[in-house]
A and B are shown apart, each in its own frame.
Chain A
C-alpha cells in the first residue's frame, strides 16, 4: 500500500483545484441534505399529524380529503351516545365535531391569503392532545387561534399573527385570541375558530367530520357503527391512515425533490470527474513510475480513491456546517401545512454517504485512465 501521507500531500499540490473540488462536492452534498431534510420533514409532519387512537368520521366517498367531506350535524351526538370505549375526561367524551375548509384571510384589505381553517369546540383539545396554547388563550366566539407556523405558511410577518391582532376571515374581522403549538404536525399551520362562527361564515349546514379518541374501544366497532348507520352516510378512518394517504399523495413531489437532487449531483459528478481528470492527468508518468517500482494498479487506485474521498468528505463537512448554520430550523410550507427543516442524524448520514459515494465513484474513471496505458508509453509521457 502507498502511504496515506502520499494521498494527503497530493491534495495540496494545487490548493485552488482542491478548493474547487471541496466546494463542488460540498454543493452536491448540500443539495442531497436539503432533499433529505425536505423529505424527512414532510414525511415526519404527515406521520406525526395522525394518531392511531383518533378515528375520523367523514362522509362516505370523501376518504381522500376531509375538505370535501360533509356529514350531518347530528353525527357527533349519535356517535357519542352509540359508540363505547371512547376516551373521557371529567365525564366529557373525546368527540370533536369539526369543519375544515380553506378560507381567505387578510391582515389588510388588499392582501388576501388562503388559509386552512378548522372550526372547533373546546372538545377539540380532548382529541388533539398534542395541541397546547402557547400564548393568549383558547379560541372563543368572535376570535381565532393561530398555529405557531401559520405565519410561515401564509407568507406573513410573524408579528402579524400575534395575540390581540386583528385579521379578516372572509371579510369578517376577528381577534387573535392565542397561538397554539402542535409539535411536528400540520395543525401548526392552521387557524382555528369557533365551530359555529365558521359554520355561519361559510353558510354551511353540515360538519366536515367528527374526530373521536379511543380509550378501550376498537376501530372495528366504529367501522361497524358507520356500516350500520347507513342513514348518516359515514366512513371511518384512523387519523394515522388518513395522513398516510396524504403522505402517499405527496410521494411524487418528494420523488421530484430527490430526482432534482440526483440530477444536480450527476451533473456535479461529471464536472467533478473533469476536475479529477485534470488533477490526475499530469501524474500519468508518476503513476507509471510507481507501477515500475512494483506497486500494483489496485494499490495505486486505492490511493487515488483516498485522495478523492478525503476531498469529498471535506466537502461533506463544509456542507454539514452550512446546513446546520443556514438550513436547520427553517420552516417550509406546502399546500396543507408547514414543517421545520432539521439536520437530523439521517440527513447528516445522507450527506456523509453522498460525500463518500462521490469520492469512491469519482476517482475510478480518471484513475483508470492513468493506470491503463501501457507502462512504456506512460513512463515516457510528460510528467
Chain B
C-alpha cells in the first residue's frame, strides 16, 4: 500500500467558523493534518481549543467552512446532509462522553441500531451484535436496559454500537470523562485492543493525560491551531 492510500484522514487548511450574534467565531483555522489507517490519535487542548470541532468535522457531524477534508477517501466537506448521514453510517462509529444510549432500547437493541441501516438479515444482525457485545465483554448483559448498567458498561455498549457496523474510523469524545479510574482503564484497554487487533483507526478527544498516553500519537490544539505532535 503506498503512502497516500494509507492515509485515512487528510485535512488541508481546514477552517471552521460560525456566527455568534454579530461576531464571527473561528474555532478551527487553516489546520493541516493527516491520520494513517490503524492509528490511535489523541487530541488534547484546553476548552475552546477546537478539538471537539475537529472531531465533529472528521466524523461528518459538522461541515467545514473552508479547506479540504478527506476521510475514508471521500471529500466529506462537499456532501449534502443526507449523503453525509449515509456516509457516517458506513464509515464512522462515534463514541460519546455520556454514552448517548437510547434509554428505551436494551443493550442488544442499541448496538443493533447501526445495522438497521444496512441490508443485513435479522439473523446476521443478531450474530453480529452478539459477537460485538461479547467482544466488549457484555455478552451477559445483552437484554439489560441502559439504566440497569454501570457507567463503564454503558460506555462499552456505546463502543459496541460504534463498532458493530465495522467502520474504518472510530471517533471518541472524552470516552472516559464520565467514568471512574477502573472503568476508564478498562475502556482505554478496549480501544487499544481495537487498534492493535482489529486495525481500527481511532481519533479521541480527551482531557485526561492518562488516556492520552494510550494513544499512538498525541496532538495539542490551542485556539484552533495545531501546536505540537508527539508520540503517545
Contact = CB atoms under 8 A, between A and B. Distances in A.
Contact of B62 (A9, A290, A297, A376): A376
A2 to B, nearest CB: 7
Contacts of A293: 88-89, 94, 113-114, 117, 161
Given A293-B88, A294-B90, A10 B104 contact: yes
A285 B90 contact: no
A5 B85 CA distance: 22
A6 interface: yes
Given A1-B116, A376-B61, A379-B96, A294 B86 contact: yes
Interface residue tally on A, bucketed by range: 20 to 34
A374 B161 contact: no
Nearest to A8: B104
Contacts of B96: 289, 379
A9 B113 CA distance: 15
Contact of A294 (B88, B98, B104): B88
A300 to B, nearest CB: 10
Contact of B104 (A13, A297, A375): A13
Contacts of A374: 62
A379 B85 contact: no
Interface string A243-269: 000000000000000000000000000
B53 interface: yes
Interface residues of B, number: 27
Contact of B61 (A5, A6, A285, A292): A292
Contacts of A294: 85-86, 88-90, 114, 117
A383 B85 contact: no
Nearest to A11: B104
Q: Does more than half of chain A's interface fall in helix, strand or loop, or is it mixed?
A: helix
A334 interface: no
Nearest to A294: B89
B125 to A, nearest CB: 11
A296 B85 contact: yes
Contacts of B62: 374-376
B100 A286 contact: yes
Contacts of A132: none
Nearest to A374: B62
A292 B52 CA distance: 14
A6 B104 contact: yes
A167 B59 CA distance: 88
B98 A292 contact: no
B86 to A, nearest CB: 7
Contacts of A286: 100, 102-103
Contacts of A297: 81-82, 85
Interface of B: 52-53, 56, 59, 61-62, 81-82, 85-86, 88-90, 94, 96, 98, 100, 102-105, 109, 113-114, 116-117, 161
Chain A to chain B: the 8 pairs with minimum beta-carbon distance, closest first: A294-B89, A9-B104, A289-B100, A294-B88, A375-B61, A376-B56, A376-B62, A296-B85
Given A2-B116, A297-B81, 8 more contacts: A5-B109, A286-B103, A289-B96, A289-B100, A292-B59, A293-B114, A295-B89, A297-B82
28 contacts: A2-B113, A5-B109, A6-B109, A10-B104, A13-B104, A285-B100, A286-B100, A289-B100, A290-B113, A292-B61, A293-B89, A293-B113, A293-B117, A293-B161, A294-B88, A294-B89, A294-B90, A295-B85, A295-B113, A296-B85, A296-B86, A297-B85, A375-B61, A375-B62, A376-B56, A379-B96, A379-B100, A383-B100
